[in-house]
Structure 1
C-alpha cells in the first residue's frame, strides 16, 4: 500500500494552509516560473529553489510523510507560502517536479537526514526513568491543590445560584477572571478554562441565563466527580483527570491501520493555536483525534492532507471513549482516496452523540458521518442537514454559519444528496468534509 508515486490534488494541498492569506500566496507560487532545481524522491521528499525579492532563492524542502517542511524564508507560518507553492507545483506538474534518480541536493538531504534521525530518537526507549517516588509525591501535592480549588469553585457556584443568575450579568467578567486565576494557582487549567467560558456567557446574547445554567451544571458535575474520584470506574476517572487539566500521556497499545484523514482545522485562543486532525481506521472502524499545538504565533507543525489514507500506527490516550491519540510510526506515504467512511442517518448521528456522552458527559461533540443528506435553509434562519428520504434534520452549528465551507457544501450538493463528515454536538452539526456521487474526490470544508 506504499504508493509513494501518487501525488496529492491541489485541494488537498491548499487544505494544509494555516489561513486564507497563505492559501492565496501559495496559489500564486504554484507555477513553474519562480522555481528551479526542483525534484522529488520515492521516500516522499519534495524540494526546490524559489526566486524571491533577495539575491538568493529560498530553499524549500517538504517531507510529505509527516507532513514536515523547512524553508529558508523568515515566515513563522506552517506550512509557509513557499512550501504550499512547491506542493501545488508537485501536485499538478510532474514534468517540473520530476522523480529524481539520485539523492536530494546537499541542503535538502541534510535536513531530511536530521529529521529522520530525530524521528528515530523519538521512538527509541528512554535511557532512564524518573524517580517514581518523587513523581508520586508531586502528583499527590498537585491533587491536593486541585481538590482545594474544586472546593472553592463549588462555593462560587453555590453563591451564584443563591444570588440568582441575574447577578452574573451585574457583577461583570472581573469576578470570573479572578476565580479562573485561582484555578490556575490550583494547577487545574481545565477548570480555569471552563470558568472563563462561564464569565463570557452573560454577554453572549439572548438566552444567556439558560446557557449559563447548563454550563454551571456541567462544571458542578466535574467538580463533584473530582471530589469523588476514588469512587469512579478507572476509565471515567481518567477522563475526569484530563478534564480538570492533568496531563494524560498516550500509553495504550499502538493501533496500526490504514487511517483516512477526514478533517484538519485550527483554533486559536490568542496565545496558543490548536490543530485538530480527525482520522478514521478503515479496518478497525476506530475514530481518532490528533492534537498539535503552536505557540507564539507559530502554526502547529503536524499537518496531514485531507482526503488521503496513511498506513500508520496511532497510540491512544487513556480515558473513556479513547478518541485522542498520538501519531506513531508510519509505514508509507499518504495515498489519495475518494471514498468516505461508513455513515448513517441523522437519527444515527444523534444516537452516537448520546452514547458518547454516557462515557464522557463533558464532550462537546463527537465525529460522525451523515449519508444522503441535503443542506437546506432552516425555518429559523440558519441551515440544516436533512435526510434525503424526508426523515430527520440536524441544525448546522452556529459557528459554521457564514463560513465559506458552508456555501461550498451547498454548491457541491446542488440540491441533491451528499455525504458529510463532521462533529455532532449539543450546538448542532459542524460540517468538515464532504463527498458527492457526481464529483469525484474529497472536498474539505474548513
Structure 2
C-alpha cells in the first residue's frame, strides 16, 4: 500500500503474519460482524474488535513510515501484527464496503487511533518531499534487513533445538517415539517451531507427529524414519546455508518458511512472458483460510507454474482462472532449485478459451519428471505432469489406475483421493477411450486434477 490509500491484497496481508497460527486466527476475525468503527485513510486502518471482555480491542495499523508497517492493539498478545491487526487488514483488503475509506477533510480517525498515528509518524520523521521520501526508503530497507536477520537467528535456534530432539529420538529408539502419547509431544515441538517463525519446519514436524501416531508397526516405523530423515536434511541444510549452491539454498529457505514477497519479486526478478494455459484450479479450506492453487502451462516455454492465492473467513480468493483459459501474461518465478511457484504480473490481453490439450507423456515420462524434480528438492511431495494418452481403470484389488493407452505401464491413483466422484467423472469422460489428464505425481501415486475430452474439465 502507498500513501494514497491503495489497498493490499489478502496475500499481501497474510505475508505480514509472524507465523501460520496468526494467519489462521487473523482470517477467522476478518468478518464484518466482529468489527465496529472501522475506517482507513492515507496508509492507516483502524477499528474496534469484539473480544471476550466487555471492552472491545482497539486496533490500528499504519502501513507507511520509517521501519515499515506498524501496529497497535489493546489485546494482550505479544505478536506483531497480532491476530486482530491481521483480521482488520484482511477485512479492509476485501473492499470499500467492508472498511470505508475516509477522505481528507471528511473527519479524523478516532482519538485513540489518531494519537498513536501522530506519535508514530513524528518519531519516524516522515516529512514531505523527495528528500523525506528517500530517507524513509533507506530507513525501510535497513529496518527490513534487521528484521530478516532477527528472524534468521530465531529459525537457526529452532533448527538447532529440533536437531537435538531428533538426536534424542534416535538414541531412545523409534518405538519410544510412537504410540498414543507421542502425537502430543511432537505437536508441542511444532508449536515451538511456529514460535521460532519457521512454519515450514512446523509443517514437517506435524507430518512426523502423524507418522508417530497409532498404526501398523512396520509401516509406521518406516514412515517415521522417512520423516526424521527429511527433517534432519532440512535442518542441516538451513544450518549450512552459506555452503550450499544458491538454487538449493533458495529451496531450503522456502522449505523452512522464508518466502519471497510477490511485489518485490515482480519488481526485481526476471519476468517470463508466455501464453499460459490454465491446467487446474483447486481450493483447500482449513475452516479459517482458503488456499487456492492454480496450475499453468506455458505453450512457448513448456514450463509448469503454480500460483497461490488466499481468501479469509469463507471468502473466495480474488484470483480465479477456470480450466481451459489461455492467458497472455508475465510470471515471476520464486527462487528455487526447481522453480514452480510463481507470481502473476502484467496481463497483456483478456484471457481466451482454449480447448486444445497440453502435450503429455506416458507413465515413464511422468515418473522421470517427478524424479528429476525430487533430485533438486528432496522435500517435494509431488510434481505436476500431463499424461497422454491414458485410460482410467477402476480395480477392486489394486485401486484406481491411469494406464498408458499405447503400452503396458500404469500409474496408481493416490489412495488418499477421497473424492471418488471425480474419478468416476474421469471414467465417464473417457468412456474407455484414451484421454489427456493433468495430475500431480508423487510417491503415493497420482492425483488427477483435470481431463481433456471434447473440452477441458476440472475433476
Within 2, Cα distance between the matches of 1:356 and 1:204?
Answer: 32
| Residues 431, 153 of structure 1: alpha-carbon distance in 2 compared, 3 angstrom cutoff | same
Q: CA deviation at 1:191?
A: 0.6
Deviations 1:80-129 (A, max 9, x none): xxxxxxxxxxxxxxxxxxxxxxxxxxx9xxxxxxxxxxxxxxxxxx9963
Shift of 1:130: 5.1
Pick one of 140, 152, 159 that aligns with 2:149: 140
Of the candidates 358, 362, 365, which is equivalent to residue 348 of structure 1? 365
Go from structure 1 to structure 2 and tell me whether the alpha carbon gap of 1:337 and 1:137 turns closer, same or farther (over 3 Å shift): same
1:293, 1:380 → 2: CA distance? 39
Q: Which residues in structure 2 correspond to 1:35-74 (within 5 Å)?
A: none
What is the Cα deviation at residue 412 of structure 1?
Answer: 1.1
1:176 to 168, 177, 186: 186
Give the equivalent residue in structure 1 for 2:408: 391
Matched, 1:444 2:458: yes
Tell me by how many angstroms 1:173 deviates.
1.9
Give 2:383's match in structure 1, choosing from 348, 357, 366: 366
Structure 1 unaligned blocks of 5 or more: 1-75, 77-106, 108-125
1:365: Cα distance to partner?
0.8
Tell me which of 125, 139, 152 is aligned to 2:161: 152
Instruction: Give deviations 1:233-282, integer Å, cap 9, x for gaps.
Output: 11110111111011223422111111101100011333322110000111
CA shift, 1:175, in A, is 0.8
- Matching of residues 422-437 of structure 1 within 5 Å: 422-436=439-453
In structure 2, the residue matched to 1:242 is 254
2:216 aligned with 1:216: no
CA distance in 1, matches of 2:399, 2:321: 31
Asked whether 1:260 is paired with 2:277, we answer yes
Query: What displacement does 1:381 show?
Result: 3.9
TM-superposition CA deviations, 1:362-395 (whole Å, max 9, x none): 1111111001111113464411111112331111
Among 229, 232, 239, the residue aligned to 1:227: 239
In structure 2, relative to structure 1, the CA distance for the partners of 1:359 and 1:374 (3 Å cut) is: same
TM-score (norm 2): 0.66
CA contact (8 A) 2:403 2:411 kept: yes
Query: Residues 425 and 211 of structure 1: is their aligned pair in 2 closer, same or farther, counting only changes over 3 Å?
Result: same
Report the equivalent of 1:198.
Answer: 208
- Highest relative contact order (Cα 8 Å, sep 6+), 1 or 2? 1
Equivalent residues of 1:350, 1:424 under 8 A apart: yes
The CA distance in 2 between the partners of 1:426 and 1:129, in whole Å, is: 47
Please tell me whether the aligned partners of residues 360 and 389 of structure 2 are also in contact (alpha carbons under 8 angstroms).
no
For 1:287, the equivalent position in structure 2 comes to 304
Q: Rate the CA distance shift 1:204–1:371 in 2: closer, same or farther, 3 A.
A: farther
Residues matched between the structures, number:
319
Check the 8 A contact 2:179/2:214 in 1, yes or no.
Answer: no
- Alpha-carbon distance in 2 for matches of 1:197, 1:367: 22
* Cα 1:426/1:239, change in 2 over 3 Å: same
The answer to whether the aligner puts 1:309 opposite 2:323 as a matched pair is no
CA RMSD after TM alignment = 2.1
